[in-house]
Structure 1
Amino acid sequence: MSSQPKSPPASAAAPDDAEAAAATAALIEQGRLLFAAPWDFISAAPTIETLPPMQGMEIALAGRSNVGKSSLVNALTGRKALARTSVTPGRTQELIFFRASPELTLVDMPGYGFAKAPKEKVEAWTHTIRAYLRGRVNLARVFVLIDSRHGIKPVDEEILDLLDKAAVSYAIVLTKADQVKPTALPHVIAGVEDKIRKRPAAFPVVFPTSSNTGAGLAELRGAVARLMAEQG
């Protein structure tokens, strides 16, 4: 009489999944601790000549005006007023540097797309941004913020083209994800993934976030912690 083989216990059925989950949890905790440190404003640089000295690893946030960059900086760092928020698109006209430790600096880049400024000033900002992207050797990644409600627009494609040409690693962060129906969000993410799939400098993972609800912030902090581990 033959006996049926016994199934392995559930705890041993998928060791790879358990290890992956543990690694993810560890990164999220590292990210939490990293961003829980006191954050301070360092400097505001309107030109390439006024950039602060390079120190540690830099992460930059880029995006259309009014996409929520300042809100994301505040939400990530747990500081309600670290970065100024404004209902006036294009108010941030400088590269704004924030630092929690010698190892990590966040850079809030000028918003693009709706800047209410003379053409000559916009061109000067563009020159500064390009020079910063190409010459900042400690810049580990640019997080390009995209409004979840609208997806990647032609004006966003321009900055992605610039990053590809400069060979600067970047990842897409979807903002205001709480303002998209839960059933529609996976389709938004898939659409963005499809648009960046063949871009040479694009990181393949898309990060949906909400500064209002805190959704996705732990994963984004974990991604920064992973970058720091890779750089170290």
Structure 2
Amino acid sequence: MTGLAEARDEAERDALIEAGRLLFARPCTFFYAAQKSDQLPEPGLPEVAFCGRSNVGKSSLINALTGQKALARVSQTPGRTRQLNFFNLADRLTLVDLPGYGYAKASKDMQRDWQGVMFDYLRGRPNLMRVMLLLDARIETKSADRAAMDLLNTAAVAFQIVLTKADDVGPQKLAARIEEAKALARSHTAAHPLVLVTSSETGLGIPDVRAEIAALAV
């Protein structure tokens, strides 16, 4: 199935949105957690991973997509999530919540441990279909974000930029942030051309993210 960027007309776009709605209306359950590379589950269903800086809103986005308030743990403390969490979506797809990167207050050993397993996963997972790379719409792109894009690009891992917390940004600033994200996507061959703009609070863009992910499901 093609994604929204390839939709030829409004009817095809509506069909993609409906496919996403139907997929995410089905059960999504946590089934595995890994803290080390040798603990990763055997590759199975297609996987879509959520990656981004600490406190960018990964867990909130997963909860909004699935319509569950507490499926993914939302922490007010940046850097709290230190493991890869795997969720089964209707036996058609696996969603993976990756540890946040770029948390400055974490010790170097701690950062190396949880970011090391994350990057090992990104480089070596054969059933990883796409990484949804989350960027905070309210702030500028950080060096850690650019490093993550470069790693994904070098490893030839397909990724798509998703701007989060767009409800907390004025129209002019948001428009500039979208253009910046589009330029970043164009400068990386592994990046999907369509930048998604979301808010877990208002539901903005949630149907679009669902549609993009549904296009990758078996």
Where on the TM-score scale, by shorter chain, does this alignment land: which range?
over 0.9
**Counterpart among 141, 144, 156 of residue 145 in structure 2:** 156
Show the counterpart of 1:218.
207
Higher-Rg structure is 1
Cα RMSD between the aligned structures?
1.5
- Partner Cα distance (2:128, 2:18) in 1: 23
- Is residue 58 from structure 1 mapped to residue 47 from structure 2 by the alignment? yes
Show the counterpart of 2:119.
130
Secondary structure (helix, strand or coil) at the match of 2:215 reads: helix
- Is residue 21 from structure 1 mapped to residue 23 from structure 2 by the alignment? no
Q: Deviation at 1:101?
A: 2.4
Q: Using the aligned pairs only, state the percent identity.
A: 51
**Counterpart among 67, 74, 89 of residue 100 in structure 1:** 89
CA-to-aligned-CA distance 1:139-186 (integer Å, 9 cap, x gap): 000001000011321110011111011110000000000011124322
Q: Deviation at 1:19?
A: 5.5
Show the counterpart of 2:162.
173
Secondary structure (helix, strand or coil) at the match of 1:227 reads: coil
**Counterpart among 175, 182, 196 of residue 185 in structure 2:** 196
Q: Deviation at 1:194?
A: 1.3
Q: How many residues of Structure 1 are paired with residues of Structure 2 in the alignment? A: 212
- Is residue 90 from structure 1 mapped to residue 79 from structure 2 by the alignment? yes
Show the counterpart of 1:11.
none
Show the counterpart of 1:209.
198
CA-to-aligned-CA distance 1:41-67 (integer Å, 9 cap, x gap): 111100111112222110000011011
CA-to-aligned-CA distance 1:96-118 (integer Å, 9 cap, x gap): 11112222010000001116433
- Is residue 227 from structure 1 mapped to residue 211 from structure 2 by the alignment? no
**1 or 2 for the larger relative contact order (CA 8 Å, sep ≥6)?**
2
- Structure 2 residue identity aligned to 1:201: A
Structure 2, unmatched stretches of 5+, are 1-6
- Partner Cα distance (2:109, 2:199) in 1: 34
Structure 1, unmatched stretches of 5+, are 1-17
- Partner Cα distance (1:137, 1:123) in 2: 23
- Structure 2 residue identity aligned to 1:80: K
Q: Deviation at 1:136?
A: 0.8
Moved more, 109-118 or 166-175: 109-118
- Is residue 143 from structure 1 mapped to residue 152 from structure 2 by the alignment? no
- Partner Cα distance (2:105, 2:41) in 1: 26
- Partner Cα distance (2:172, 2:119) in 1: 38
Instruction: Provide closer, same or farther for how the CA distance between residues 170 and 19 of structure 1 changes in structure 2, counting only shifts above 3 A.
Output: closer
Show the counterpart of 1:43.
32
Q: Please tell me whether the aligned partners of residues 89 and 115 of structure 1 are also in contact (alpha carbons under 8 angstroms).
A: no
CA-to-aligned-CA distance 1:73-124 (integer Å, 9 cap, x gap): 1000000000111110000000011112222010000001116433122112
Q: Deviation at 1:134?
A: 1.7
- Partner Cα distance (1:225, 1:39) in 2: 13
